């Protein structure tokens, strides 16, 4: 079966509606879908200073590329990029080179911050002296640095490359762990609080699947391999991802159904949990958190005690 719109060979079969598209028509479909998400959810507004969190992987480079095209077209917002170097040898060093090249070629200012400079060591070295799971340490560190640095850089929005697969994994993880309150903070634009201490986060790839993003990044020449973080399967999220992929293969459209159902109940969740999450300031670093000491400061303290 050729492309739905022409006679060219298809590069993808969209599982939610069983439509096949060739390179050219898929790229157009993908860009339109992302731009429609930005428009429908008002993710970018006039005079915004948008910081794109870029890792050099398929998601962030596709996102940065589309937002750059939009900026060049409508010229009503500023655009910069921010990257975090966790210190994962053989992986992040390579993707960061790609991010640097993309930003240089496209004239985008890139700010890079590292765990080594900000927390005193690389993730690789921290893991050698701790039995914590990589993502349990890395996730809070990354969120912390992105929020803190985005504020210092004066960004009004922080755009991340979370796609439909990432978000459906988080939704299911929160169900499985009876963590519904956390789900109230999800959505294409977050969070519950209009607190100035948090940068608004936007997720323009919210409604496109990982397979679609990978296909787009590949046909646009944004990436030439699909390397993943060596720790990505070593987590609860990795197990939920495998489970959802297996279900999607057997029952195509499952991920879209989860997302559509979730978006229907999200306004109710946001309303229910509007006031229930107290926002304190961490007594150690001053960053916003829900307890007395933030998760990042707690981990840093544990690591310090381990020498």
* Spatial distance between the Cα atoms of 127 and 133, rounded to a whole number of angstroms: 8
State which residue, 211 or 231, has the beta carbon closest to ligand SF4: 231
Q: 297 contacts which partner out of ligand SF4, Zn ion, none, CB within 5 to 8 A by kind?
A: Zn ion
Tell me which of ligand SF4, Zn ion, none is bound by residue 285, counting a contact when its beta carbon lies within the kind-specific cut-off of 5 to 8 angstroms.
Zn ion
Please report how close the Cβ of residue 87 comes to ligand SF4 at its closest, in angstroms. Answer: 10
Q: Which residues of 157-169 are buried (b: 16+ CB within 10 A; e: fewer)?
A: bbbbbbbbbbbbb
Q: Select from 130, 139, 218, 219 the one that contacts ligand SF4 (CB under 6 A).
A: 139
β-pairing verdict for 200-202 and 189-190? antiparallel
Q: Which of 48, 80, 85, 86 binds ligand SF4 (CB under 6 A)?
A: 86
- The DSSP code sequence of 169-195 is HHHHHHHHTT-HHHHTT-SSEE-S---
Please say which residue, 193 or 245, places its beta carbon nearer to Zn ion: 193
Nearer to ligand SF4, 123 or 207 (CB): 123
> Site for ligand SF4 (CB under 6 A): which residue of 44, 229, 244, 259?
229
Residues 27-46 that bind ligand SF4 (CB under 6 A): none
Pairing of strands 19-21, 12-14: antiparallel
Regarding 112 and contact with ligand SF4 (CB under 6 A), the answer is no
- Smallest CA-to-CA distance from 254 within 185, 181, 168, 173 is with 168
CA distances from residue 189 to 117, 164, 176, 202, 266 in whole angstroms, order as listed = 30, 14, 23, 5, 12
Q: Which residues make up the interface to ligand SF4 (CB under 6 A)?
A: 86, 134-135, 138-139, 229, 231-232
């Amino acid at each position: 079966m050729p492309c739905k719109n022409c006679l060219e060979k298809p590069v993808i079969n969209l599982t939610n509606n069983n439509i096949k598209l060739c390179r050219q028509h898929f790229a157009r479909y993908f860009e339109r879908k992302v731009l429609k998400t930005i428009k429908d959810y008002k993710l970018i507004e006039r005079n915004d200073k948008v910081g794109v969190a870029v890792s050099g992987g398929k998601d962030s480079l596709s996102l940065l590329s589309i937002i750059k095209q939009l900026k060049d077209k409508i010229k009503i917002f500023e655009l910069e990029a921010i990257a975090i170097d966790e210190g994962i040898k053989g992986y992040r060093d390579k993707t960061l080179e790609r991010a640097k090249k993309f930003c240089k070629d496209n004239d985008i200012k890139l700010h890079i911050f590292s765990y080594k400079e900000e927390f005193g060591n690389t993730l690789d070295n921290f893991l050698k002296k701790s039995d914590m799971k990589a993502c349990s340490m890395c996730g809070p560190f990354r969120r912390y640095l992105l929020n803190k640095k985005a504020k210092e850089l004066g960004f009004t929005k922080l755009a991340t490359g979370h796609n439909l697969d990432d978000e459906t994994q988080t939704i299911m993880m929160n169900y499985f762990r009876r963590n519904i309150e956390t789900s109230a903070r999800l959505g294409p634009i977050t969070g519950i609080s209009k607190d100035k201490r948090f940068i608004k986060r936007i997720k323009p790839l919210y409604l496109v699947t990982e397979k679609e993003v990978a296909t787009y990044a590949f046909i646009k020449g944004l990436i030439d391999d699909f390397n993943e973080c060596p720790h990505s399967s070593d987590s609860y999220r990795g197990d939920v991802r495998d489970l959802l992929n297996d279900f999607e293969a057997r029952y195509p459209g499952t991920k879209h159904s989860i997302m559509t159902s979730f978006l229907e109940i999200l306004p109710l969740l946001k309303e229910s949990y509007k006031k229930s999450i107290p926002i304190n300031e961490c007594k150690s670093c001053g960053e916003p958190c829900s307890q007395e000491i933030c998760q990042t400061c707690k981990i840093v303290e544990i690591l310090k005690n381990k020498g």
